[in-house]
Amino acid sequence: MELGMRLERVRTNLNAEEQSAIDRLIEWLRIPSISTDPAYRAEVRRAAEWAADRLRDAGLAPELRETGTPGAPGHPIVWAHHPGPAGYSGPHVLFYGHYDVQPPDPLELWESPPFEPVIKPAERGEDVPGERVVARGAVDDKGQVASFLEALRAWHAEAGEIPVRLTVLLEGEEESGSVNLERFVKEHDAHLRSCDVCVISDTGMLARGEPAITYGVRGLAYTEVILHGPNQDLHSGMWGGRCPNPINELSKVLARLWDQDRRVTIPGFYDDVLEPTPEERRAWADLPLDYPAMLGKIGLTKEADIGEKGWTALEREWARPTCDINGIVGGYTGKGAKTVIPTHASAKISFRLVADQDPGKIVRAFRGWLDANTPPGCRWEFIDHGGGFPGTVSTDSPYLAAARGALEAAAGGKQAHLIKSGGSIPVVGLLKGQLGLDTLLIGFGLDDDRVHSPNEKFELDCFRLGMHTHACLLSEFAEMGG
Ligand code: BES
Ligand code: MN
Ligand code: MN
């Protein structure tokens, strides 16, 4: 049967099987695969096995590949390879996704338990959530990976075969820094080198009903600093004003990380930054986005549109590096008052990076700056929490054209926007840096999906679009072979 006819049957299958696809996703979402917390080790593996079972249902022969070292075991990678139909001459496609999720905390802010998925009805009004599944991992990333798994299932069911040469790599440590991924990629160098393009669904659309392809994600460098002062907690009456208070001193140093224009003050921080082109800035300015409304949704007014001077909100998210304090602790944080000068104070500090910044170089520059700004009598302790390179995708590849075609076919003729994202997906930079492999980021999330937050959701319209896009994309790739 001709490819186009087979695709039609696959899409009919997706429509007919929609309810069971949702039921399957719910089953997966019930497994609390929190990779950062050792207490959930067995659950993480169970989520990997669940995904492997779905790949098996689609006619593949998946394996769980162990990661890490005997002393520091990691979470398994779900790995499967399908050679493609006999005589196949199209691209070898790598599909990457992650089956681990963020911790659900704070639990009390969830309207329903994070691992007891519920379907909520559409809300009324303009730009409000449609029918959706609410659970931790709904959009990041199980729901999006499930849209791909369903496309595989439907192709296998209707056409008897997946029409492309395909390798599937599902990671279980993305949300905890992908610490074992680099080694895995090195160990599978030869195989991965034979891939022509990577496909990832782990980003968002421009807006509801506005599909998009993401051509850049930011990098990340995550650090923790502890400022040590006196060797014991002290009475602030006897010692206040006589010796360094690590909280006072840490706050003062951290406050100097930004200047009047909200630019990061670390020497060399902007050295390797590749600025967006005037054409990009023009194209972004034309995107149909309502910035005051976006601030309104997070409870802020338009006065809150602050950041590095000289750049718009979108430019600051997509094309400028930033520094954020993600946590800060010290001294007495319990109920009531305690007059204390603590021995130490600490902060978690991360940098979002853009092309061509190098996370290692940024971390070294930050340490150098801290050393140069050590408060008198104090000492820094420094912990590196890893991160990843920024990922940029070429916008003129035949693969991107295939992705545009697939999205357009799945979205009923609607053209896909080309966007960037402020988030980070370490594997993108890793594949590009180690293997020169380009990625297609085709995401189906929405801005108000509450990624990493309580009441995370994935809208069923987005799930549908994801399933159909992946079904069409497989056909587009198969066609590239001629
Ligand atoms: N899927 C996200 C990245 C993302 C979020 C892309 C929102 C686009 C929009 C991914 O799972 C993630 O959370 N990445 C982490 C980085 C990681 C090293 C912990 C991030 O961006 O903080
Ligand atoms: Mn993700
Ligand atoms: Mn995430």
In a domain, 433, yes or no: yes
- Ligand 1 pocket: which of 33, 34, 200, 202 to mutate (most atoms within 8 A of CB): 202
Work out the percent of the chain whose per-residue pLDDT is above 90.
Answer: 96
Residues 343 and 406 in one domain: no
Residue 288: the pLDDT is: 87
Cβ of 428 below 6 Å from ligand 1:
no
Q: Provide the CA 304 distance to its chain's centre, in angstroms.
A: 25
Q: Is residue 178 part of a domain?
A: yes
Is residue 480 within 8 Å of 90, Cβ to Cβ?
Answer: yes
Could you tell me if 46 and 14 lie in one domain? yes
Q: What is the pLDDT at residue 481?
A: 87
Name 134's bridge partners: 118, 457
Q: What does R_g of the chain's alpha carbons equal in angstroms?
A: 24
Q: For atom 13 of ligand 1, which residue has the closest CA?
A: 175
Give the domain range for residue 231: 219-273+321-388
The tens digit of pLDDT for each residue in 223-268 reads: 999 999 999 999 999 999 999 999 999 999 999 999 999 999 999 9
Both 208 and 64 in one domain: the answer is yes
In ligand 1, which atom is closest to the CA atom of 443?
8
Ligand 1 contact, 158 CB (< 6 A): no
Is 230 found in the same domain as 334?
A: yes
What is the predicted pLDDT for the residue at 339?
Answer: 98
Predicted confidence band of residue 386 (pLDDT cuts 50, 70, 90): confident
Q: How many other CB atoms are found less than 10 A from the CB of residue 331?
A: 17
Would you say the CB of residue 137 lies under 6 angstroms from ligand 1? no
Tell me the average pLDDT of the chain.
Answer: 97
In the chain, what percentage of residues exceed pLDDT 70? 100
The answer on pLDDT for 380 being more than 80 is: yes
The model carries a pTM of 0.95
Q: How far apart are CA 22 and CA 147, in angstroms?
A: 10
- Burial class from Cβ neighbours inside 10 Å (0-12, 13-18, 19+) for residue 214 reads buried
Residue 390 has pLDDT above 90, yes or no: yes
Report pLDDT digits (tens) over 133-166.
999 999 999 999 999 999 999 999 999 999 999 9
Predicted pLDDT at 1: 80
Task: Mark whether 45 and 109 lie in a shared domain.
Answer: yes
Q: What residue's CA is closest to ligand 1, atom 18?
A: 177
| Residues 145 and 255 grouped into a single domain | no
269 with 411, same domain? no
How many whole angstroms from 99 Cα to the centroid of ligand 1? 13
* Averaged pLDDT for residues 405-413: 97
CA of 424 to the centre of ligand 1 (A): 5
Cα of 56 vs centre of ligand 1, distance in Å, is 28
Quick one: 35 and 139 in the same domain? Answer: yes
Q: Ligand 1 test: best mutation among 206, 294, 439, 451, most atoms within 8 Å of CB? A: 451
| Residue where one domain finishes, among candidates 332, 354, 388 | 388
The set of residues, in sequence order, having a beta carbon less than 8 Å from that of 241 and lying 6+ positions away, is none
Predicted pLDDT at 91: 98
Q: Is 346 in the pocket of ligand 1 (CB under 6 A)?
A: no
For the purposes of burial, counting CB atoms within 10 Å of the CB of 377, is it exposed (0-12), middle (13-18) or buried (19 or more)?
exposed
Looking at the CA of residue 202, tell me the nearest atom of ligand 1. 1
Q: Which two tokens stand for residue 406?
A: 């697939």
Q: Are 355 and 471 members of one domain? A: no
pLDDT at 126: 87
**Closest to 137 in 3D by CA, of 172, 165, 180:** 172
Any ligand 1 atom below 6 A from CB of 175: yes
Q: Output phi, psi for 95, to 5 deg.
A: -105, 125
pLDDT digits (tens, 9 = 90+) for 31-86: 999 999 999 999 999 999 999 999 999 999 999 999 999 999 999 999 999 999 99
Answer yes or no: are the C-beta atoms of 61 and 137 closer than 8 Å: no
Q: Is the pLDDT of residue 482 over 80?
A: no
* For ligand 1, atom 1: residue with the closest CA: 202
Task: For residues 427 and 438, give the distance between their C-alpha atoms in angstroms, rounded to a whole number.
Answer: 11
* Residues 235, 355 within the same domain: yes
Q: Measure 393 CA to ligand 1 centroid, in angstroms.
A: 17
Does the Cβ of 424 fall within 6 Å of ligand 1? yes
Nearest-atom number in ligand 1 for the CA of 98 is 11
Q: Do both 83 and 141 map to the same domain?
A: yes
Residue 435, CA distances (Å) to 171, 360, 404, 438 in order: 18, 19, 24, 9
Q: Are residues 381 and 472 in the same domain?
A: no
Per-residue pLDDT at 419: 97
What pLDDT is recorded for position 152? Answer: 98
From the CA of 332, how far away is ligand 3's center (Å)? 32
Cα-flanking dihedrals φ and ψ of residue 68, to 5°? Answer: 85, -165
302 occurs within a structural domain: no
pLDDT digits (tens, 9 = 90+) for 410-468: 999 999 999 999 999 999 999 999 999 999 999 999 999 999 999 999 999 999 999 99
Q: Stretch 382-399: mean pLDDT, rounded?
A: 93
- Of 174, 348, 393, 453, the residue with max ligand 1 atoms within 8 A of its CB, to mutate for a pocket test, comes to 174
- Quick: pLDDT tens for 177-232: 899 999 999 999 999 999 999 999 999 999 999 999 999 999 999 999 999 999 99
The CA distance from 76 to 95, in Å, is: 16
Instruction: Write b or e for each residue in 237-269: b if 16 or more Cβ atoms lie within 10 A of its Cβ, otherwise e.
Output: eeeeeeebbbbbbbbebbeebeeeeebbebeeb
